[in-house]
Structure 1
Amino acid sequence: MSAAGIAARAEGLWKQYGEGDAAVVALAGVDVELKRSEFTAIMGPSGSGKSTLMHCLAGLDTVTRGHAFIGDTQVTGLGDAGLTKLRRERIGFIFQQFNLLPTLTAEENILLPLTIAGRKPDREWLNTVIDTIGLRDRLSHRPTELSGGQQQRVACARALVGRPEVIFADEPTGNLDSTSGAEVLHFLRSAVDDHAQTIVMVTHDPNAASYADRVIFLKDGQITAELAKPTADAVLDQLKTLDRATGGR
């Protein structure tokens, strides 16, 4: 695939924490391409390196060796100013913790990244995002007046409002009940299908992964398998295979 069709990629990516006998290898030579306008899930046993891979791709963590790219921009080697600009202008983030500011309304939280960057919102796109999350009647409410699912949808809208090239979501349904989690996953799915957004999601939940176009599986810091058009059952079967291969660790 041409570089124009790739939102993010890793080339020979290694990440080691610590030195000598205390060294822990989190990523061991990962090569992966994540396509634009696609929903990719990253899965694997605890400690497999899935969150580390996402953090290295997004410039939230440094790499030991190898290269990470957002589009054609090499993330590895960027200075602090370059990383800040990249994350502010081209990347969106959704985390397990909603990270909403309690003193701001839902609308103010959604607009916060643009406010910090000194950018005016595209009102047409803002309206599209608000309608997609289905919270137009809650925009003046503060986070304490919203359910967990509503707060996470506000966090999703905040990630989308700047029209980033790629949105990284780290366990976005991890703190939600099944109903609220499904609402958030439907929103992410529609962001890809209706608005050509690119989503990369780390999850441990086979049902959440079934919303993706493609699932990448890691074990011991390496990609060991992938599934296209996954079902929850197929994802669960693959996870059981990985678990058996690690002796149930």
Structure 2
Amino acid sequence: MTTTTSFAARATQVAARATDLSKVYGQGETQVVALDHVSVDFGQGEFTAIMGPSGSGKSTLMHCVAGLDSFSGGSVRIGDTELSTLKDKQLTKLRRDKIGFIFQAFNLLPTLTALENITLPMDIAGRKPNKQWLEQVISMVGLAGRLSHRPTELSGGQQQRVAVARALASQPEIIFGDEPTGNLDSRSGAEVLGFLRNSVRELGQTVVMVTHDPVAASYADRVIFLADGRIVDEMLQPTADGVLDRMKHFDAKGRTS
């Protein structure tokens, strides 16, 4: 495995940690091992991209760490909270209070304005947003002039800006993005990635993003590569060309040459 100094060792505090994490679907001959004893830390205030071939387990890893999917073995912690000890209602509260999500589909409610979509998770929780923080987030993603618009009145890039602002607005401990620029053109995608990069640099946010795009991965501080349900490589301070070159060297067994 080709790595430099362990990223986990450099991180002063851990926002999320998976230890010996396994995820198995089915039984017997139909059994599929999606995650095979994965251990990884995501440091606070860092931007991590997860990459790998189709079926490598990258989305499964993110979904398990984010509390969106159950796991078969091992442990996941968000901050000091062990996910396996939580009941459904506690897990729902954890996701609402401590985690932000950005998906490929924008997942905005068409009847609400941009501002109402941004504050919706806090409205559901009965919490008032921090006004100063909210204004800072809205300013960062460039939505100040679009807050009264509904999703149908916004471009795809603007809708994803709303989704980014919604994820940031509640000041979560960690944000997970699943192909967040997958439905956007290159210019809009670059804008959204820039906002995520700035949220880490300027707001101290922690971001974990699944992507297949080397250009998107180049916005991260670190890229981890999965193959066959295992972490097989890591790159710090990635470039698009470096990530692309590393991806080309994966063989069918998920090793690098």
Question: Shorter-chain-normalised TM-score: which range?
Answer: over 0.9
Tell me the alpha carbon deviations over residues 149-203 of structure 1, each in whole angstroms, 9 at most, x when there is no partner.
0000100000000000000000000000000000100000000000000000000
Deviates more, 1:73-82 or 1:188-197: 73-82
> Aligned partner of 1:94: which letter?
I
Q: Please state if 1:85 is matched with 2:93.
A: yes
Alignment of structure 1 residues 51-200 onto 2, 5 Å: 51-200=59-208
Q: 2 CA distance for matches of 1:130 and 1:22?
A: 48
Q: Please state if 1:38 is matched with 2:46.
A: yes
Equivalent of 1:10, from 18, 22, 38?
A: 18
Instruction: Please report the TM-score for the alignment, with normalisation by the length of structure 1.
Output: 0.97
Q: 2 CA distance for matches of 1:13 and 1:242?
A: 22
CA contact (8 A) 1:91 1:164 kept: yes
Equivalent of 1:29, from 28, 37, 56?
A: 37
**In the alignment, which residue of structure 2 is the partner of 1:233?**
241
Deviation at 1:81, TM superposition (A): 1.3
Equivalent of 1:201, from 199, 204, 209?
A: 209
Task: Give the 3-state SS of the residue equivalent to 1:97 in structure 2.
Answer: coil
Task: Give the 3-state SS of the residue equivalent to 2:226 in structure 1.
Answer: strand
Task: Give the 3-state SS of the residue equivalent to 1:30 in structure 2.
Answer: strand
Alignment of structure 1 residues 212-231 onto 2, 5 Å: 212-231=220-239
Percent identity between matched residues is 66
- Aligned CA RMSD, in angstroms, stands at 1.4
Tell me the alpha carbon deviations over residues 118-151 of structure 1, each in whole angstroms, 9 at most, x when there is no partner.
0001100000000000010000000001000000
Deviation at 1:77, TM superposition (A): 3.0
> Aligned partner of 1:75: which letter?
L
Q: Which runs of 5+ in 1 are unaligned?
A: none
Q: 2 CA distance for matches of 1:217 and 1:4?
A: 22
Tell me the alpha carbon deviations over residues 65-111 of structure 1, each in whole angstroms, 9 at most, x when there is no partner.
00011011111231101101110110000000000000000000000
Q: 2 CA distance for matches of 1:172 and 1:76?
A: 27
> Aligned partner of 1:109: which letter?
N
Q: 2 CA distance for matches of 1:3 and 1:11?
A: 16
CA contact (8 A) 2:50 2:209 kept: yes
* Deviation beyond 3 Å, 4+ runs, structure 1: 1-4, 243-247
Task: Give the 3-state SS of the residue equivalent to 1:89 in structure 2.
Answer: helix
**Number of matched pairs:** 247
Tell me the alpha carbon deviations over residues 229-248 of structure 1, each in whole angstroms, 9 at most, x when there is no partner.
0000010011111156569x
CA contact (8 A) 1:3 1:71 kept: no
Q: 2 CA distance for matches of 1:66 and 1:244?
A: 26
Identify if the C-alpha distance between structure 1 residues 142 and 89 changes in structure 2 by more than 3 Å, giving closer, same or farther: same
Deviates more, 1:238-247 or 1:176-185: 238-247
Task: Give the 3-state SS of the residue equivalent to 2:157 in structure 1.
Answer: helix
CA contact (8 A) 2:22 2:37 kept: yes
